[in-house]
Structure 1
Amino acid sequence: MPETSLAPNLDSAVQDLYTAGITACRGAFTPEWADAMRDDIEKAFAEARGREGGAVGRGPHRFYVEIHPEQLRGFVDLVDHPWVRGVAEAVLGADYRIVELGFDVPLAGAVNQPWHRDFPMPEATRHRRRLTSLAFNLTAVDTREDMGPFEIAPGTQWDDDPRFGHGMFPPRGSYPRYASLAERKYPRRGDVSARSALTIHRGTANHSPDARPVLVLGIDAPGAGNDAQHDMAVTREYWASLPGRVRAHLHCPVVEELTPIVQKHTIEGLVMGDA
């Protein structure tokens, strides 16, 4: 169970996720920890862009890369952080599963994405209003207005409209509603947010000369099924080094040697950006 001292914050976080669809823990890590994370992201990004299928486009000058846990020095710090563990358990249950580790990189020149959610609404959400997946995000930089901040329309995780393209993209006629609800987020190094990937959101245009890398940790309730979109693995040596309570939530192959991930979680509607 989550630490008693965190219970009030966890109660608030759960309420936030079921109302606004997003919540945050400010200063969960030090800026120096976030700087090390950025170093790992930049190394993995350079490697991924140098091979076929290593990075997938999420719009002009915007990329997504999935990585293995061993590529992030702070992986255990992140998944074993009391707030991350507590929120995951409170929303997804004691048997939650870590299914995704990756990062988004909006480069200079990235344009507005279309409003979207990351996957179609599951039946458990549609019929029982139960969240079955969370995305935890950590910025690698202190976000400025000109860097193309993340924009989210609170409360829209429950929007259920048969006109959504592929169950993910609202019709353009509804854009004014999302724009009227929209909140831009300006996280700083060390902050952690958690959101329902169903909450309608978009990346905005990056007018700065700087990239805005963001780490993504995806966690599912048992049976949610998002693990089919991801290919993380760990080596036997790394698996043996993990705390037992991390291993309990990491249902991925244990291998002798890691192979580079070919990206599977493509979102075709994001490739061209917003018109």
Structure 2
Amino acid sequence: MSETETQRPDVTETDVRAAVEALRTDGIIGRKGALSRDFVAGMRVDVEEAFREARSLENGAVGRGPNRWYAEMHPEALGGFVELVDHPWVRAVSEAILGPDYEIVEVGFDIPFAGAHNQPWHRDFPSPEVTRTEQRLTSLAFNVTLVDTEQDMGPFEIAPGTQWETGEDFEHEMFPDRSTWSRYEERAVRKYPQMGDMSVRSALTIHRGTTNHSQKSRPVLVIGMDAPGAGNAEHHDLAVTEGYWAKLPERVRRHLHCPVVDQLTPIVQKHTIEGLVMGEAE
């Protein structure tokens, strides 16, 4: 599939400035129609296969609440990996926020199934010191919905502007106390992305998945980016084979600081705190 079929490369300086401003204020911004629906449908096939494999392995997927799972996959298991991480908007926003030497550290997916509950309000990891003291973001999460999100499917909910809260009084520095939840509910915004839409957010912005009242799953692909030295790569185990590495464009290779191996091994999930606090998936 060619670049023109998978993405729209018309990314302007105005687009990038808008993304930078939104990440500083709201902590999230979307880009409508960034990818073709056919391209996204192909990625969904790969994600569903990766989920089946992850669930067949001990600790291959981690529960993030009842009927809700998170797992990771190696880049070459995702047929659209190169097109996605090399998308002009992804590159431009990553460079603007994280610098020219940003690193690709995560390829994962979250799937709430029918019956998934409201998650507790949370952020994905503790706020780094440089973020608390200098209001500088050191990581980004790009999300791609793999289905058309409908109101009854447990849409993603986020509390804009909360990425700058220190979180020093949060449980595990990630989970605000239940007594403060009304503050997030008052400012909460629900997102209804459609296939082809992409978003980028600070994973520090307080958010949650909501109750899935439908009989459908709502898989979302996550690409995690770090500024040099941010350290989130320690929580992930990406690897590529030598053959795959050799075929990658140099523009992608220089951002992918992961082991190059003879043979891939299944990824064992390390996100255990979320499972403990949110309740195990069923």
Residue 39 (str. 1) matches residue 41 (str. 2): no
Residue correspondence of structure 1 range 7-86 to structure 2 within 5 A: 7-86=13-92
Post-superposition shift, 1:53? 1.0
Equivalent position of 2:277 in the other structure:
269
Residue correspondence of structure 1 range 247-266 to structure 2 within 5 A: 247-266=253-272
Post-superposition shift, 1:236? 0.4
Moved over 4 A (4+): none
Amino acid at match of 1:270: M
Distance of 2:228 and 2:277 partners within structure 1? 28
Pick one of 179, 184, 197 that aligns with 1:178.
Answer: 184
Q: TM-score, normalised by structure 2?
A: 0.94
Distance of 2:58 and 2:125 partners within structure 1? 24
Equivalent position of 2:134 in the other structure:
128
Q: CA RMSD in A?
A: 1.2
Amino acid at match of 1:122: P
Residue correspondence of structure 1 range 88-99 to structure 2 within 5 A: 88-99=94-105
Post-superposition shift, 1:105? 0.4
Q: Secondary structure at the match of 2:246?
A: helix
Pick one of 166, 172, 178 that aligns with 1:166.
Answer: 172
Residues 127 and 167, structure 2, Cα contact 8 Å, conserved in 1? no
Distance of 1:246 and 1:144 partners within structure 2? 34
The percentage of counterpart residues that share the same residue type is 62
Equivalent position of 2:4 in the other structure:
none
Distance of 1:81 and 1:26 partners within structure 2? 14
Residues 136 and 195, structure 1, Cα contact 8 Å, conserved in 2? yes
The 3 A distance-change label for structure 1 pair 272 and 255 is closer
Distance of 2:167 and 2:159 partners within structure 1? 16
Post-superposition shift, 1:162? 3.0
Q: Secondary structure at the match of 1:157?
A: helix
Where does the alignment leave 5 or more consecutive residues of structure 1 unmatched? none
Where does the alignment leave 5 or more consecutive residues of structure 2 unmatched? 1-8
Residue 148 (str. 1) matches residue 157 (str. 2): no
Residues 152 and 201, structure 1, Cα contact 8 Å, conserved in 2? yes
Post-superposition shift, 1:188? 0.5
Post-superposition shift, 1:163? 2.1
User: For each residue in 1:118-137, what CA deviation from the matched residue of structure 2 results, as whole angstroms up to 9, or x when unmatched?
Assistant: 00010010111100000000
Post-superposition shift, 1:97? 0.3
Equivalent position of 2:194 in the other structure:
188
Amino acid at match of 2:76: E
User: For each residue in 1:214-272, what CA deviation from the matched residue of structure 2 results, as whole angstroms up to 9, or x when unmatched?
Assistant: 00000000010000000010000000000001000000000011111111123232225
Equivalent position of 1:109 in the other structure:
115
Distance of 1:121 and 1:190 partners within structure 2? 30
Residues 35 and 140, structure 1, Cα contact 8 Å, conserved in 2? yes
Post-superposition shift, 1:4? 9.1
Equivalent position of 2:245 in the other structure:
239
Distance of 1:241 and 1:196 partners within structure 2? 31
Equivalent position of 2:5 in the other structure:
none
Amino acid at match of 1:183: V
Amino acid at match of 1:172: R
Post-superposition shift, 1:24? 1.2
User: For each residue in 1:183-220, what CA deviation from the matched residue of structure 2 results, as whole angstroms up to 9, or x when unmatched?
Assistant: 00000001110000000000000000000000000000
Pick one of 207, 213, 216 that aligns with 1:207.
Answer: 213
